Amino acid sequence: MRIMGLDFGSKTVGVAVSDGLMITAQGLEIIRREQENKLRRTLARIEELIKEHEVDRIVLGLPKNMDGSLGERAEKTMEFKAMLERRTGLEVIMWDERLTTVAADRLMIEAGVRREDRKKYVDSIAATFILQGYLDRDQNCRKEFC
């Protein structure tokens, strides 16, 4: 049993997956598409990864505005959530993703990754941060009986 983390963007979806004990998140891949509204191949690839990694739950980053409100990108993410639930039959949990891309960029800068190379990894790292945040909260809730 594993959990998948997704960072849904206009042209990419960053994918991460938990370890079997659901303690750590690892970046898996970035699914790229040519057009924002073309999601058939993206959903098919996610389904393949779900089967391959025996995923039973999905955590999807929700791009809230800094004031906590939901904008156009959040609405598209909610539509993607509905598609994922229909296609996979799995529970999709929304997770506040504010500043995960900024944190991913900072991490790569600190690691000395060149600017032109950062775009190759940022979405996968952001998906890892989204999933790790969820896993950490879940671990704390188990200890404190949330």
Q: Look at residue 65 in the predicted model and tell me its pLDDT.
A: 73
The count of domains in the chain is: 1
Q: Look at residue 102 in the predicted model and tell me its pLDDT.
A: 65
What does the DSSP assignment read for the chain?
-EEEEEEE-SSEEEEEEE-TTSS-EEEEEEEE-SSTT--HHHHHHHHHHHHHHTEEEEEEEE-B-TTS-B-HHHHHHHHHHHHHHHHH--EEEEEE-TTHHHHHHHHHHHTT--HHHHTTTHHHHHHHHHHHHHHHHHHHHHHHT-
Region 136-143: what's the mean pLDDT?
Answer: 71
Give the range of the structural domain holding residue 52, as residue numbers without chain letter.
2-144
pLDDT higher than threshold 80 for residue 145: no
Whole-prediction pTM:
0.85
More confident residue, 90 or 133: 90
pLDDT (tens digit per residue) in 64-122: 777 877 788 889 999 999 999 999 999 999 998 866 666 666 776 777 777 776 676 77
Q: Look at residue 78 in the predicted model and tell me its pLDDT.
A: 95
pLDDT (tens digit per residue) in 10-60: 889 999 999 999 999 999 999 998 887 789 999 999 999 999 999 999 999
- Domain with residue 103: its CATH number is 3.30.420.140
